[in-house]
Amino acid sequence: MAKPSVSISDIDDLKSIAVDIIHTAKSGNTDYLDLRLEIGEGIGAYSEDGHPKVTSKDWNFSLGVRVIDKTGIPAAGYFGQKLGFPDLKNFSRTLENAIQVASARARANSRDKKSFVIQSQEFGSSITPTLLAPIDIRRDTVPAEFEIDPRCVTPAQITDLACQTAAAALSFHQYLRRSEVVVNTGISRQLFVSSQGSIIDQSSASSGVTVFVLAQNNHSDTPVDLYHHTGNQLGLEALTKAKNAHQKTAVDFARQIAAEARLLADAKPAPLVNKPAVVVLDPDLIALFAHEIIGHPSELDRALKMETCYAGRSWFMADPKTSVVGQQIGSPLLTAFSDPTLKGGYGYYLYDDEGTPARRVYHIKNGVYQEFMNSRQTAAIVNVSPNGHYKANDASVVPLIRMSVSAIAAGSADPKKIIADVDHGYYCVGHRIPSISESRENFQIAPRLIYEINHGRLGQVYRDGRLTADSRDFFMSIDAVGADFKIFPIPNCGKGQPMQSKQVGNGGPTARGRAMIARG
């Protein structure tokens, strides 16, 4: 007997209930109230060396409520809950209870704020009201895009794809010792309703593959391990019809990673370069720079030190009155942005989790710092307009300011000429796990491959190297930016405590600058 399940279509039955309750729940000292209701359905498979290991099919159902109360000094209260099948029939009661709890928390926080200000002359001025900057109130429905409906993919189909992909990597060359592959496809739907009148019904599909390989030649004691991911906000056609940033099927993508591992198995360790050298970064690598060195420190909650103890601060802002806004922090060739409306990887949406319409945010324009990603609350703190970057990985948790598609913009140079013009330097391809300072003002980021450039031509390939530099110095050194802009999917950007892992997009073109090279 099949177990009872929840489907994204169930939101059709819950929508009118949610709208009626939210629009009548605001009373007394309640200043604002919103609801997020989310259902997701997905299926995935894991293969080792071409053998099936795990196949799973599941759904999730979650609810989040925010209330702002003005009994004392305006403050927020939250309630989040993972829901189950019985909550479909009892949804009215579940939502009413959530509102009661969130309201009680908001009321208590509001009173405590006022009490603290009265009692503490020294620190009372640090307490501020929770205000939301105004936005355009929208009522909209955004459908998911797909050819192959994730709900129609069978366990046998997803398992076969995972096994074929892992087998293709392992059989690529005799150096390949191990392959592991995870394939997922899913669809989610979120309903957002606010007491200000917003009703946003937004759906999204997503499919991706992560490939891990281990290679070792017969004369080395040091194996090479590589992993990489590709995917898109589409159905399984993203992997079976090569509709992704790498323009490869899952099987061909696995062969590409296996080919890199085979090449690196014979490669020597990267040279130590203790003075800045000319480095050319391919789009995949510069996209990670956009994410780690520009994107994270451009999250306004981080810049305002709301997550300092756990994640760190921002080299773009010392305090709200001391920032690099309006200052030259990079070459005039450098422009960087975050844009939720760009398709091609992950991170695409038209409204964030408080109903703010999505728009492009220019962090850097022609080398000058411009704007942070924000939420309605943080936008009110610094007196700017909300720009639609308040997102959660699940309706039951409090949203955070998150990247969408964060990228370095395309230039006009021919990527081949960017390399050809280098007398001596290094061409750096792909990326591994980075090591970044807590404020992101300096970095060590490892490419997957490093080619030496001599007289404009690629020569010997090296392994286990890391680019390292002061962030501002590196960005100021950029003297060429290519026209070959690409967007890449990132499956697991992490932020928050407890951790929220979220799909986002990175992007960029070929770029040339100066950095040192370390080993490891």
DSSP string, 303-338: HTTTTTTTT--BTTEEETTEE-TTSB-S-TT--EEE
pLDDT of residue 498: 87
Whether 304 and 317 have beta carbons less than 8 Å apart is answered as: yes
pLDDT at 220 (0 to 100): 82
Rounded-to-5 percentages of helix, strand, coil across the chain = 25, 40, 35
Three-state secondary structure call for residue 339 = coil
Q: Is the pTM of this model over 0.85?
A: yes
What pLDDT score was predicted for residue 338? 99
Helices and strands, counts by H and E, the chain: 11, 27
Q: What is the pLDDT of residues 459-500, one digit of tens each?
A: 999 999 999 999 999 999 999 999 999 999 999 999 988 899
Residue with tokens 């109360």: 69
Q: Report angle CA 496, 502, 508 to the nearest 5 degrees.
A: 110
- Which ranges of the chain have pLDDT less than 70? 1-2
pLDDT score at 1:
57
Tokens of 240: 């079976």
